[in-house]
C-alpha cells in the first residue's frame, strides 16, 4: 500500500480486503461502501501505480489533463479527488459513456479529440495543469506525452502507463520500454518507473516532470 495517497483516496474494505476507493457516484457497477466506490487497480493503470507505491505527487485538488479517457472508468475516479479534469478521448462511442460520467461530476470535461493533436484542444485546456495522466493504447505513446508537455506547469507531473503490446507485439517489452523512455526524455526528466504487474501485464508506469 502506498503511504502517499491523494486526499480523497482511501483504502476501504471490500470483500474482506483493503482496496483503493474514491468518493463519488458509481460509474460501472463497482462495489460501494458509505459513499466510497472501489477503485480497481486491475481496471485502472493509475490505481495500479498507486498500489505499487509510486510517488505520483498527487495530493488532491490538482488540475488534470487526462489523455486516453475512454469511457471514463479511471477519469471518473480522478475527478472524484482532483480539480478540473480535462478528459481527452478520440473515439465517439466511449465519449458518450464519458459524458454520462461527467453528468455527476461538474469538474470533469469530456473532449472528443485526438491526443496526438494537442493544438485542437489547446483553446480549452488550461495552460498550466498540475498533472497529465496518460493511458493511450496506440503506437508512439511517448511521443503523445511529448506533444502534450506544453500544458504541464513547471513542476507538474506526467503519470503515464506505457503498454508494450500497443507499440510492438513482437519485441521484448523491456526493449520497448527503453525506447519509450528515450523518447520521453526529449521533454521530461524521468523520476520513477515501475512495472505494473500483477495488475497489468507488459505495462510500465512512469512518473516524470518537465525539463
Span 95-127, pLDDT tens digits: 999 999 999 999 999 999 999 999 999 999 988
* Residue 174, domain member (yes or no): yes
* Residue 33, domain member (yes or no): no
- The residue range of the domain holding 119 is 44-210
Cell for 163? 503498454
Contact assessment for residue 159 and residue 46, using Cβ atoms and an 8 Å cutoff: yes
Q: Quick one: pLDDT at residue 81?
A: 98
- Comparing C-alpha atoms, which of 95, 170, 180, 193 is closest to residue 142? 180
* Residue 28, domain member (yes or no): no
Please state the domain count of the chain: 1
Whether residue 1 is predicted with pLDDT greater than 50 in this model: the reply is no
* Residue 15, domain member (yes or no): no
Kindly state the average pLDDT of the residues 176-199: 97
Q: Reduce the DSSP state of residue 196 to 3 states and report it.
A: coil
Instruction: Provide CB contacts within 8 A for 153, sequence distance 6+.
Output: 128, 129, 130, 210
Residues 34-85: tens digit of each pLDDT: 999 999 999 999 999 999 999 999 999 999 999 999 999 999 999 999 999 9
Instruction: Provide CB contacts within 8 A for 25, sequence distance 6+.
Output: 37, 104, 105
* Residue 23, domain member (yes or no): no
CATH number of the domain encompassing residue 199: 3.40.50.150
Residues 142-154: tens digit of each pLDDT: 999 999 999 999 9
108 bridge partner residues: 85
Confidence tier at 29 by pLDDT (50, 70, 90): very high
Give the Cα separation of 92 and 114 in Å (integer): 11
* Residue 31, domain member (yes or no): no
* Residue 6, domain member (yes or no): no
203 bridge partner residues: 163
Amino acid at each position: 500500500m502506498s503511504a502517499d495517497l491523494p486526499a480523497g483516496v482511501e483504502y476501504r474494505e471490500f470483500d474482506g480486503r483493503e482496496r483503493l476507493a474514491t468518493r463519488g457516484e458509481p460509474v460501472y457497477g463497482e462495489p460501494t461502501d458509505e459513499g466510497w466506490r472501489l477503485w480497481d487497480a486491475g481496471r485502472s493503470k493509475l490505481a495500479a501505480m498507486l498500489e505499487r507505491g509510486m510517488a505520483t505527487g498527487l495530493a488532491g485538488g490538482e488540475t488534470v489533463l487526462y489523455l486516453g479517457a475512454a469511457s471514463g472508468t479511471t477519469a471518473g475516479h480522478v475527478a472524484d479527488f482532483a480539480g478540473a479534469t480535462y478528459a481527452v478521448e478520440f473515439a465517439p462511442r466511449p465519449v458518450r459513456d464519458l459524458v454520462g460520467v461527467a453528468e455527476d461530476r461538474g469538474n470533469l470535461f469530456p473532449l472528443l479529440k485526438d491526443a496526438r493533436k494537442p493544438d485542437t484542444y489547446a483553446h480549452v485546456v488550461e495552460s498550466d495543469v498540475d498533472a497529465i495522466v496518460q493511458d493511450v493504447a496506440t503506437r508512439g505513446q511517448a511521443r503523445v506525452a511529448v506533444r502534450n508537455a506544453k500544458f504541464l506547469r513547471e513542476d507538474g507531473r506526467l503519470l503515464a502507463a506505457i503498454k508494450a503490446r500497443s507499440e510492438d507485439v513482437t519485441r521484448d517489452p523491456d526493449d520497448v520500454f527503453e525506447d519509450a523512455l528515450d523518447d520521453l526524455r526529449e521533454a521530461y526528466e524521468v523520476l520513477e518507473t515501475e512495472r505494473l504487474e500483477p495488475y497489468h501485464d507488459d505495462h510500465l508506469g512512469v512518473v516524470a516532470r518537465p525539463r
